[in-house]
């Protein structure tokens, strides 16, 4: 298998990088570099810049409004955004509910929702997890009962990323509690977040950020036309969506950008024996991570090249579980090394707290103050999208037949 990029693919990557360089607002880039989430306004503006170029839904086929790229181009595009660093197109719409609607939606649902995902008129969130249903998602208890032309939904979702920004939620709901198996009798329902009966409560994570929420649904009326596919077979949509969510979670571009940055930081940071970058222990560990990133990149290209040859079959390779595990472990190792480089500077509060009196805390660079919050925040990579333990189970089944 030839893993080298063709001339055309190299030109494509250059075109994407040049576009990002020219079009990305410096404030958005700076925020991404700091490791903070972009603001909603920055994210929407960037998504629309990509939409104007025809690039906001990179995984969609042409007939659905996408660029119709092959897996290699999709990979190169995503990596270029990560390496810039620039926000990805809003993933809950473009990578999750969008592909589900393309595969399972009615023509009316496609007409209504897909164009609004392309231009991010609607911000989507994912209502799958519940307090007692995470890895064991099929044990979810939020119910939906049909009354005339409406589903009446009651229950609780949790860990719902950016629900406080969302216009819509795609949710798994139990439509038939008497079904023989827990996976049966589940529906995939599109819920307007402005519906009466919805309460969104923030969960502040250990780094102090508001990224995730609890969503309570109390007798929420949802038009029957918002059910995607068979109301008893939403599990098929969920499986399809989760396998797509995992693909592209290697985050090689982020790792490369963070390593580049860490090298720059280490060259400017003093250690007891001179510059940190010259410290043999630090250098060895950084080099080891860099080798791991290279290996991950080659594995990604191998998976992507194999996908490109499976014409017509758009299902991701089970090896995407491996990419997710290694990608998250590598980012967590980079976060640990950055924390060590920051030393006691990691104890400072990040700049986001403008009222902090400047004479109480010695001034430390923002990257150092952000190193501890980021270390804590990045624990999420081995949890969401299916925990790393669950990914290992998937691989054990797919590759070892266990
Ligand atoms: C930052 C963040 C954002 C998230 N965003 C969303 C979102 O937008 N929408 C959404 O629906 N969900 C979201 N989630 C939820 C996420 O999908 C779940 O946290 C995840 O599926 C794990 O479920 P759980 O938290 O209930 O843990 P549990 O399933 O209770 O797992 C606890 C531990 O047990 C392990 N474990 C469980 N079962 C097995 C098994 N069979 N074999 C081996 N080990 C096992 C797990 O790996 C884990 O270490 C988010 C989570 C986080 C942290």
Which atom of ligand 1 approaches the CA of 126 most closely? 9
Range of lowest pLDDT (84-98, 203-217, 231-245): 231-245
Same domain membership, residue 226 and residue 133: yes
Percent of the chain past pLDDT 90, that is, above it, reads 82
Q: Per the domain annotation, does 32 fall within a domain?
A: yes
Per the model's pLDDT, the better-predicted residue between 148 and 248 turns out to be 148
For residues 197 and 157, state if they share a domain: yes
**Among 208, 232, 256, which residue terminates a domain?**
232
Residue 101 lies in a domain: no
Please indicate whether residue 399 or residue 43 has the higher confidence score (pLDDT): 43
pLDDT confidence of residue 70: 92
CATH number at residue 202: 2.40.110.10
Calpha distance 292→327 (Å, rounded): 9
Q: Examine residue 104 and state whether it is found in any structural domain, yes or no.
A: no
Domain-terminating residue out of 232, 267, 294: 232
Give the atom of ligand 1 at the shortest distance from the alpha carbon of 128. Answer: 11
402 band by pLDDT with thresholds 50, 70 and 90: confident
CATH number at residue 72: 1.10.540.10
Does 288 share its domain with 331?
yes
Lowest mean pLDDT among 31-40, 68-77, 238-247, 307-316: 307-316
Ligand 1 contact via 119 beta carbon (within 6 Å): no
Q: What is the CATH number of the domain that holds 298?
A: 1.20.140.10
CB 292 within 8 Å of CB 217: no
Average pLDDT for residues 373-377, to the nearest whole number? 96
Residue 136 has pLDDT above 90, yes or no: yes
Closest-CA residue, ligand 1 atom 26, reads 134
Distance CA 131, CA 129 (A): 7
Are 85 and 181 part of one and the same domain? no
Q: Whose CA is nearest to atom 53 of ligand 1?
A: 380
For residue 195, is it within any domain? Answer: yes
Bridge partners for 173 per DSSP: 187
Ramachandran angles phi, psi of 43, nearest 5°: -65, -45
pLDDT in tens, 288-317: 999 999 999 999 888 888 877 765 555 667
**396 & 251 share domain:** yes
d(CA 313, CA 363): 54
**Mean of the per-residue pLDDT values for the chain?**
92
Evaluate whether residue 240 is within a structural domain. no
- DSSP assignment string, 337-373: HHHHHHGGGGGSPPTT-TTS-TTTS----HHHHHHHH
What is the pLDDT confidence band of residue 356, given thresholds at 50, 70 and 90? low
Total domains in the chain come to 3
Residue 115 lies inside a defined structural domain of this protein? no
> How remote is the C-alpha of 80 from its chain's centroid?
15
Domain contains 117: no
Q: Does pLDDT of 109 surpass 90?
A: yes
**Close Cβ partners of 361 (under 8 Å, ≥ 6 residues apart):** 348, 349
Q: Which domain holds residue 172?
A: 124-232
Token couple for 354: 């403008």
Assess whether 32 and 63 both reside in one domain: yes
Together in a domain, 257 and 300: yes
* 302 part of a folded domain: yes
Confidence of residue 360 (pLDDT cuts 50, 70, 90): low
Q: How many helices (H) and strands (E) does the chain have?
A: 13, 10
380: helix, strand or coil? helix
245 is known as an active-site residue: yes
Same domain assignment for residues 267 and 388: yes
Pair of tokens at residue 211: 């990224």
């Amino acid at each position: 298998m030839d893993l080298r990029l063709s001339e055309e693919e190299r030109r494509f990557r250059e075109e994407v990088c040049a576009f990002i360089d020219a079009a990305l607002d410096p404030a958005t880039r700076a925020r991404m570099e700091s490791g903070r989430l972009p603001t909603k306004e920055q994210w929407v503006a960037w998504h629309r810049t990509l939409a104007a170029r025809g690039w906001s839904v990179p995984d969609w086929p042409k007939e659905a409004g996408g660029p119709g790229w092959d897996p290699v181009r999709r990979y190169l595009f995503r990596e270029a955004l990560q390496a810039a660093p620039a926000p990805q197109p809003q993933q809950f719409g473009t990578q999750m509910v969008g592909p589900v609607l393309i595969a399972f939606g009615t023509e009316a649902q496609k007409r209504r929702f897909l164009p609004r995902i392309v231009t991010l008129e609607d911000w989507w969130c994912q209502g799958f997890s519940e307090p007692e249903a995470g890895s064991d998602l099929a044990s979810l208890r939020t119910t939906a009962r049909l009354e005339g032309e409406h589903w009446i939904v009651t229950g609780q979702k949790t860990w719902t990323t950016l629900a406080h920004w969302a216009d819509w939620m795609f949710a798994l709901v139990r439509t038939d509690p008497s079904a023989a198996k827990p996976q049966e009798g589940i529906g995939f329902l599109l819920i307007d977040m402005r519906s009466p009966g919805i309460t969104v409560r923030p969960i502040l994570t250990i780094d102090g950020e508001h990224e995730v929420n609890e969503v309570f649904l109390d007798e929420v009326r949802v038009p029957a036309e918002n059910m995607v596919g068979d109301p008893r077979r939403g599990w098929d949509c969920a499986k399809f969506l989760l396998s797509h969510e995992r693909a592209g979670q290697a985050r090689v571009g982020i790792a490369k950008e963070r390593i580049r940055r860490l090298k720059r930081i280490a060259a400017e940071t003093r250690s007891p024996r001179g510059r940190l970058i010259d410290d043999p222990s630090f250098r060895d560990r950084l080099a080891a991570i860099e080798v791991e990133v290279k290996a991950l990149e080659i594995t990604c290209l191998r998976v992507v090249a194999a996908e490109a040859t499976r014409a017509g079959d758009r299902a991701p390779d089970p090896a995407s579980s491996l990419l997710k595990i290694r990608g998250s472990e590598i980012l967590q190792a980079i976060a640990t090394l950055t924390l060590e480089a920051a030393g006691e500077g990691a104890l400072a509060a990040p700049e986001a707290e403008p009222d902090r009196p400047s004479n109480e805390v010695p001034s430390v660079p923002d990257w150092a103050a952000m190193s501890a919050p980021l270390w804590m925040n990045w624990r999420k990579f081995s949890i969401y999208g299916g925990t790393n333990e669950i990914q290992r189970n998937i691989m054990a089944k797919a590759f070892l037949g266990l």
